[in-house]
Chain A
Amino acid sequence: QVQLQESGPGLVKPSQTLTLTCTVSGGSINSDIYYWNWIRQPAGKGLEWIGRIYISGSTNYNPSLKNRVTISVDTSKNQFSLKLSSVTDADTAVYYCARGVGTIENNCDVWGQGTLVTVSS
């Protein structure tokens, strides 16, 4: 049973870089079947896709965030990470990591529990 767990600071100052890590357990991240996604959800609002990475290192990003986002993978640790630079209040949200199946389907069949990140000075 694959499980995902997000980790990282719960509080980030404005203009700084938000960094989160997703640890995959119960299975290998080094699979050519899956894409590894980051998704966020501001309080009381809907889901927003941030981006994803394939095991080859190939990435896709939300155009609205592309200039600030970097997603990377560390197969030796079975982890993938999110960096979001120049954060503002608008980046306050619950951040989820999720496993996606299919190149054009990206069905997210496994999700982490989510981690709240607050941007505040």
Chain B
Amino acid sequence: SFALTQPPSLSVSPGQTATITCSGDKLGDKYTCWYQQKPGQSPVLVIYEDNKRPSGIPERFSGSNSGNSATLTISGTQAMDEADYYCQAWDTNTVVFGGGTKLTVL
């Protein structure tokens, strides 16, 4: 069955660029979206259809998708970006989530 793989954790310093990957077979042929989830809160959509930002999401969030990998990039990472991030794609009538990446900003 189709699966999405993310690194469990990533640490960056404030102001640096955070790059979170999501891998899956021929993922570039599918649309990928990304969610941010802070402790005790519901997930928030930060990127949809590979590289589009919903209204209200800062420009420092961007996305790309090709080949077997999708990427969420946070430029100029801020302390408020510390959260879990999940990728999501659709395959064979099923929604699939990646396992999540815990982003630490320190």
Residues in chain A within 8 A of chain B (CB atoms): 37, 46-49, 52, 60, 62-63, 96, 100-102, 104-109, 111-114
Contacts and interface: CB of A to CB of B under 8 A. Distances in A.
A105 B49 contact: yes
Given A46-B100, A102-B31, A107 B48 contact: yes
Contacts of A62: 94-95
B15 to A, nearest CB: 28
Contact of B30 (A96, A104, A112, A113): A104
Given A49-B97, A100-B95, A109-B48, 11 more contacts: A47-B37, A47-B86, A48-B97, A60-B94, A96-B43, A104-B30, A107-B49, A108-B35, A109-B45, A111-B44, A113-B42
B8 to A, nearest CB: 10
B45 A107 contact: yes
Nearest to A105: B31
A49 B1 CA distance: 14
**9 smallest beta-carbon distances between A and B, as pairs:** A107-B48, A49-B95, A111-B42, A46-B100, A47-B97, A105-B31, A104-B90, A107-B33, A60-B93
B62 interface: no
Nearest to A37: B95
Interface of B: 1, 30-31, 33, 35, 37, 42-45, 48-49, 54, 86, 88, 90, 93-100
Contacts of B94: 49, 60, 62-63
Contact of B95 (A96, A106, A113): A106
